[in-house]
Amino acid sequence: MKTHFLSLLAIVILASCHHSPNPETKADPVAMSQEELIKRGAYLTTIGACHDCHSPKIMTPQGPEPDPSRLLSGHPQNDPIPAIPNSQDWILFSQNLTAFVGPWGVSFAANLTPDDTGTGNWTFEQFKTALRKGKYKGLQTGRDLLPPMPWQMYQHFTDDDMLAIFTYLRSLPKVNNLVPMPIAPDKINTLASVKTK
């Protein structure tokens, strides 16, 4: 009898450990207004540190800060690329924090504003593909996004989070800025004093 009682007790305990709530008791997500989506997207963009790389900087007494007139517009197309020191053991950032050098070559932060030179002609599905699969312009057949873009972390945003971010990006002023294409590692030595087009 005692053994039967202990077996029954063990079954009850195990069953309660694996009990999942009834899906019908879950609250439906509340649809957000356009204004709420933009506010949420601005928040997620800020805590996601998107401005660190995608916003050109201005120097202030406290150091470099995002330039309010060029928020999230990517690496400025006419900024010259300074001479790159030969250092295999370092990853380097430009003074503006929008260009990066490493074993992959030179990469540039993308223009995320809704201009045609940025994400203006992207669909929400493309945006999700860029963040979930690390694909350039969110195209399934596009090249892989280059470091330091941390898409491997951002892929964990929920669809609702991504929609909020996408809606916020759509609300930004358009900045016409065609960011340079990446530069392959074997082309870096030819860059001394070259100005990007």
pLDDT in tens, the chain (197 residues): 544 444 443 443 444 444 444 434 344 556 889 999 999 999 999 999 999 999 999 999 998 999 999 999 999 999 988 788 766 778 999 988 999 999 999 999 999 999 999 999 999 999 999 999 999 999 999 999 999 999 999 999 999 999 999 999 999 999 999 999 999 988 886 654 444 44
The three-state secondary structure class of 110 is coil
In this structure, what token pair is assigned to residue 181? 């294409």
How far, CA to CA in Å, does 169 sit from each of 21, 52, 61, 103, 149?
Answer: 36, 15, 28, 30, 17
